Amino acid sequence: MASTAKVDSENKAVFGAGFLFSPAAEEAIFTPENFSDEQIEFQRTAIEFAHQEVLPQSENIEIKKPGVMSELMKKAAEIGLFTVEVPEEFGGLDIDKTTAMIISEALAINGSFAVTYGAHTGIGTLPIVYYGTQEQKARYLPKLATGEVLAAYALSEPNSGSDALAAKTTAVLSEDGKHYVLNGTKQWITNAAWADLITVFAQVDGEKFSAFLVETNTDGVTIGREERKMGIRGSSTCPVILEDAKIPIENLLGEVGRGHKIAFNILNIGRWKLGISSMGGAKNALALGAKYANERKQFKKPIGSFGLIRQKLARSATLIFAGESMAYRTAGLIDGMASQASKEDPGYGQKAIEAVEEFTVEASILKVFGSEVLGYVADEMLQIYGGNGFVEDYPLERIYRDARINRIFEGTNEINRLIIPATLFKRVLQGRVPLMQVVGNILGELQGTSDLPERGEGPLANEIWATELTKRAVLYAASYAAQKYMEDLKNKQRLLGDIADCITDLYGMDSSVCRAQQMVEAAGGVKAEQAVAMAQLYCFEARADIFQRLRRVAMIMAEGQELDDLYDNLAKLDKRYRVDYTTLQDQVAEYILDQEGYQI
């Protein structure tokens, strides 16, 4: 087992990407069914706020009607929505990541508001929570928690987006050693127009990437004009220009040359929040699509009675179920690991951020999967609206445009796809994940010296069996690639992209099956029935997609006899089985139509 692994309350090893190495549906995972009373209360508050305060202002938000966004942010602060991740001694509630995710999901009802809220409470506030000195925390956090100060995060520049560490903004220590002088231009900065405080990344001595807390009323700090955007038009996105801006040395955040840790760990948190807020947006779109499908009649029937419309509803719900299951499972893992340290321990912040870093693979999975599912659901629900989907009088037009940014910011989906296998392979080399040992066992099974797992019993027997075999196939192909290309693997982007998608879908299979099984065992009932149907549908599609990608990976890696051998081994793990596809889809679609939304 992984040498640096932490353990859970049952003394089992817990580590990032651990789902790849543990048997399918054997370990309990955290799911929305496990929310505590306090978490449910926060969910209720956030949903009420989203529906009663944010939603009625959608049109005003969209046209940036003066005062509307600031008023909403003020109200959100008043009901405590800015406090969840701020330590108690600085005016926060310091609850847990699960609660932060629950709130992000609820507020996704409006993309512009969600991004504004997310930038302030996430990438704006968290750099100080995790990396600030006591003085910096005392100076800024109480005001960030009440909304008296609004925050932003400035990493990107005109010539460095994905390649963020190539930033050109400079920071030079003044001769008297009292301040740093910052020069450069940051681009695409969310909340720039209304931020009072921005975490700005700059190179000290031209090469030491570092972070600074920049107050926007400092001389030499100018906010450029608003970008004219395709979506999230009610949010603020502007350049930030720094011209000889003198930043006191007390406002250096963390250490000189360690800014990359701040930049990437804060983005990591943003990624799983983006994953779950995408599920919130997708649920909202699905509810609108279901309602419309009930009301709109063509050929004398509600369009929701047609198979191709029901397919869109069922597929959307199934993908949301998988995304939600992965997201809250990850939240539970991070909270579980962070809770092993006491909040009184001075090293608590460091341990909490280590827990975030441990689940880097999962963060990128949630970001890619969430943003792409939201894109799919927004597109399909717009299609259900027909011509009405294409005009501004109906909500899907805005939802469709707002969804698109999620694939671009917080690291593009290309960059996040590369992070998934890169992180995994790095940890293999560090001895932190047991890939080679596990693959040794898989090779034994493929050569017949030990047995492959058999199909078990129960409503999810096929899916658990398929998940087990598919895990083996993905690990086998991934380790084959690692051994074949070694150092050069990082240059095989198409192959890495396919492996990333396989790992992502596998997490979806594992999490859907595990959650559905837990729901059956816990309470049963109609929700559990839908969960089982969605897990079956998800696994059916995902398994087929994964094997198709693995055959492509094999083809990239080999030819002739070597390719035949790879295909033969994959075929031993590619066991087909039947699902009652039409019946299951109808069952899920019927439920979504009845509930007019995703009520699992």
Ligand X SMILES: Cc1cc2nc3c(=O)[nH]c(=O)nc-3n(C[C@H](O)[C@H](O)[C@H](O)COP(=O)(O)OP(=O)(O)OC[C@H]3O[C@@H](n4cnc5c(N)ncnc54)[C@H](O)[C@@H]3O)c2cc1C
Active site residues: 410
* Residue 149-178 contact track with ligand X, rule CB under 6 A, x = bound: ---xxxxx----xx----------------
* Span of 182-190, 253-261, 530-538, 542-550 interacting with ligand X by CB under 6 A: 182-190
The size of the interface with ligand X (CB under 6 A), counted in residues, is 20
DSSP conformation class of 492: -
CB of 153 to ligand X, least distance (A): 5
**Which of 34, 60, 412, 599 touches ligand X by CB under 6 A?**
412
Nearer to ligand X, 145 or 154 (CB): 154
Nearer to ligand X, 19 or 409 (CB): 409
Residue pair 284/108 in contact by the 8 Å Cβ criterion: yes
Distance CA 73, CA 572 (A): 56
| Alpha helices (H) in 296-345, listed in sequence order | 307-338
Residues 6+ away with beta carbon under 8 Å from 76: 49, 53, 82, 117, 147
CB of 161 to ligand X, least distance (A): 2
Distance CA 180, CA 592 (A): 57
Q: Interface with ligand X includes 409 (CB under 6 A)?
A: yes
* Residue 470-499 contact track with ligand X, rule CB under 6 A, x = bound: -----------------------x------
Q: Interface with ligand X includes 408 (CB under 6 A)?
A: yes
Three-state DSSP class for residue 385: coil
Site for ligand X in 97-136 (CB under 6 A): 119
Q: Are strands 151-154 and 301-302 parallel, antiparallel or unpaired?
A: unpaired
CB of 274 to ligand X, least distance (A): 11
**H or E segment at 284?**
helix 259-295
**CA 295 and chain centroid, separation:** 33
Neighbours of 103 (CB within 10 A): 32
Q: Interface with ligand X includes 585 (CB under 6 A)?
A: no
Residue pair 216/195 in contact by the 8 Å Cβ criterion: yes
* Span of 183-191, 215-223, 296-304, 501-509 interacting with ligand X by CB under 6 A: 183-191
Nearer to ligand X, 18 or 497 (CB): 497
Residue pair 422/12 in contact by the 8 Å Cβ criterion: no
CB of 263 to ligand X, least distance (A): 9
Distance CA 234, CA 227 (A): 11
Nearer to ligand X, 492 or 543 (CB): 492
Nearer to ligand X, 167 or 337 (CB): 167
CB of 262 to ligand X, least distance (A): 12
Distance CA 163, CA 315 (A): 35
CB of 81 to ligand X, least distance (A): 19
**Which of 29, 290, 405, 528 touches ligand X by CB under 6 A?**
405
**H or E segment at 287?**
helix 259-295
Residue pair 288/382 in contact by the 8 Å Cβ criterion: no
Nearer to ligand X, 153 or 538 (CB): 153
Q: What share of the chain is helix, strand, coil (3-state, %, to 5)?
A: 65, 10, 25
Three-state DSSP class for residue 369: helix
Nearer to ligand X, 140 or 188 (CB): 188
CB of 416 to ligand X, least distance (A): 9
CB of 162 to ligand X, least distance (A): 3
Site for ligand X in 236-255 (CB under 6 A): 237
Neighbours of 479 (CB within 10 A): 19
Site for ligand X in 527-566 (CB under 6 A): none
Residues 6+ away with beta carbon under 8 Å from 89: none
**Which residue number places its CB atom closest to ligand X?**
161
**Which of 98, 136, 190, 479 touches ligand X by CB under 6 A?**
190
Q: Interface with ligand X includes 277 (CB under 6 A)?
A: no
Q: Interface with ligand X includes 209 (CB under 6 A)?
A: no
Residue pair 27/469 in contact by the 8 Å Cβ criterion: no
CB of 406 to ligand X, least distance (A): 10
The tokens for 314 are 């069922």
Nearer to ligand X, 229 or 246 (CB): 229
Residue pair 589/314 in contact by the 8 Å Cβ criterion: yes
* Span of 297-305, 403-411, 457-465, 575-583 interacting with ligand X by CB under 6 A: 403-411
Site for ligand X in 45-104 (CB under 6 A): none
Task: Return the bridge partners of 171, or none.
Answer: 182, 204
Distance CA 600, CA 597 (A): 9
Q: Interface with ligand X includes 388 (CB under 6 A)?
A: no
**H or E segment at 511?**
helix 493-522
CB of 495 to ligand X, least distance (A): 13
Nearer to ligand X, 115 or 303 (CB): 115
CB of 114 to ligand X, least distance (A): 12
Tokens 């330590």: give the residue.
Answer: 87
Nearer to ligand X, 230 or 571 (CB): 230
Residue pair 148/120 in contact by the 8 Å Cβ criterion: no
* Residue 322-361 contact track with ligand X, rule CB under 6 A, x = bound: ----------------------------------------
Residue pair 282/378 in contact by the 8 Å Cβ criterion: yes
Distance CA 56, CA 40 (A): 23
Q: Interface with ligand X includes 414 (CB under 6 A)?
A: yes
**H or E segment at 439?**
helix 435-447
Residue pair 146/196 in contact by the 8 Å Cβ criterion: no
Nearer to ligand X, 119 or 516 (CB): 119
**Which residues bind to ligand X, rule: CB under 6 A?**
119, 152-156, 161-162, 188-190, 229, 237, 405, 408-409, 412, 414-415, 493
